Amino acid sequence: MILVHGRGGTAEDILRLAGQLGRDDFCYLAPQAAGRSWYPFRFLAPLEENEPYLSSALRVLDDLFERLTAAGIPTERVFLLGFSQGACLTLEWVARNARRYGGAAGLSGGLIGPPGRDFAYEGSLAGTEVFLGCSDIDPHIALGRVEETASVLAELGASVTKRIYPGMGHTINADEIDHVRAMMSG
């Protein structure tokens, strides 16, 4: 499982989530963003405002997948999970690299780009199970973008589960952990 931390977080922070998942039969990898941020502006900013940082962050995931492939691990056995800015990066990377994965979870995140962006991606997620969890009042993630992300990923062939939590704020809750754990067992 690749775990991608949020803005201001660290690889060490997101790796703590592995303990909560309770699956020691998984290998957990967590890249570290330079300066604790994958890109400088909000995920809803025009794409060019977050460059060249966004492309660099996406390359980190590209490189990690190349290493996994070289080690003989098929993509359909790799699970990706991100929180906040890391969820946005993870979901964007999955959409841009659509193929069958072991699963993907975006906790408090959505596809990257300004309102009205044409989310045109190629490929197929071929039934990859994707979980999106977010609060209805998250101050950083617009509910509309979570809805839009669910639709785009479903159009790419993902089996999407979306859960919106009333009044939760910007955090990860036990139900999300339980759902991801169940996905890992599937």
Q: Residue 75: give its domain's CATH number.
A: 3.40.50.1820
For residue 166, what pLDDT is reported? 97
User: What is the domain count for the chain?
Assistant: 1
Q: How confident is the model at residue 150 (pLDDT cuts 50, 70, 90)?
A: very high
For residue 74, what pLDDT is reported? 95
Examine the pLDDT at 160 and tell me if it is beyond 80.
yes
* CB-side neighbour CA atoms (13 Å) of 44: 13
Average pLDDT over residues 12-20: 95
Question: Residue written as tokens 């290998």?
Answer: 27
Q: Residue 110, Cβ neighbours under 10 Å: how many?
A: 25
Average pLDDT over residues 62-79: 96
Write out the residue range of the structural domain in which residue 123 sits: 2-185
Q: How confident is the model at residue 186 (pLDDT cuts 50, 70, 90)?
A: confident
pLDDT digits (tens, 9 = 90+) for 34-57: 999 999 999 999 999 999 999 999
Helix (H, G, I), strand (E, B) or coil at 120: coil
